[in-house]
Amino acid sequence: MSNQIKRAVDICLDFARNVGSQPCLLCGAVSRSGLLCPGCLADLPALPEPRCPQCALPTPNGETCGACLRRPPAFTHSVTVYRYAQPVDSLVHALKYRGELAVARFFAERLAERIGDTPRPDLIIPMPLHPNRLRERGFNQAALIAGHLGRLLNLTPRVSACRRVRDTPPQVDLPLDARRKNLRAAFACDIDLAGRTVALLDDVMTTGTSLDELAQVARRAGAVEIHAWTLARAIRN
């Protein structure tokens, strides 16, 4: 076989091997398994178990943590997948700030795997963005994840069920008490949730303050059971 023919065969074989492949979003290597290559997928940090059933922070025996005993959040149960650390935070930033919308489906698939066959809520409500933030970003990442997750779980997300009525400053650099004050009266619910079980969906739970505030609004609208569904949970050092 001449070198030219061998080179042509090698090119054809490489093309065949790479059909359906894409660059891994994190490392750039060829991935034939979706958004991430197997190595980067394996590097995503699992959230330690056992966990507090309400806020998902690790606890010695899976009991309710001291913080939830002292001040129970308005949501009754949490489902989350990863610890919020590298490289999960890079994926969150890729979705929110670089518009890598495929990450939303990836997150929804991971959440669906974790939720499994557990009892379904009546509806999913994504964390709302204030209209100013929505215009600035162009999309609500929680609503995108909820749309994919709804299709996977055969549930209908209610994107407009709750609104963010105050354009609050970012929570990231605020202490816990300031976070609660910052979000006071920040949300409103526009539908009757009487007797219903709802899942509130966000990308990351940091302190749980935003989800707690939204859950309080949902409870005042009549929700009897409220779950908090997130892709990642921050763990305080």
Which domains are seen in the chain, by residue range?
1-43 (no CATH), 46-233 (3.40.50)
Interatomic CA distance for residues 180 and 153, integer angstroms:
32
Q: How confident is the model at residue 179 (pLDDT cuts 50, 70, 90)?
A: low
Residue 8 has pLDDT above 90, yes or no: no
Q: How far is CA 177 from CA 80, 106, 151, in A?
A: 24, 33, 37
**Two structure tokens written together for 177:** 């008490």
Per residue in 37-78, pLDDT (tens digit) is 999 999 999 999 999 999 999 999 999 999 999 999 999 999
Q: Hey, what amino acid is at 92?
A: V
Per residue in 146-165, pLDDT (tens digit) is 999 999 999 989 999 999 98
Interatomic CA distance for residues 218 and 124, integer angstroms:
12
Q: Is the dihedral of CA 116, 121, 123, 124 positive or negative?
A: negative
pTM: predicted TM-score of the whole model, two decimal places: 0.86
Q: What is the mean pLDDT of the chain?
A: 88
Of 33, 22, 36, 26, whose CA–CA distance to 87 is shortest? 26
Would you state the pLDDT for residue 20? 59
Query: Percent of the chain having pLDDT more than 70?
Result: 85
Per residue in 86-142, pLDDT (tens digit) is 999 999 999 999 999 999 999 999 999 999 988 899 999 999 999 999 999 999 999
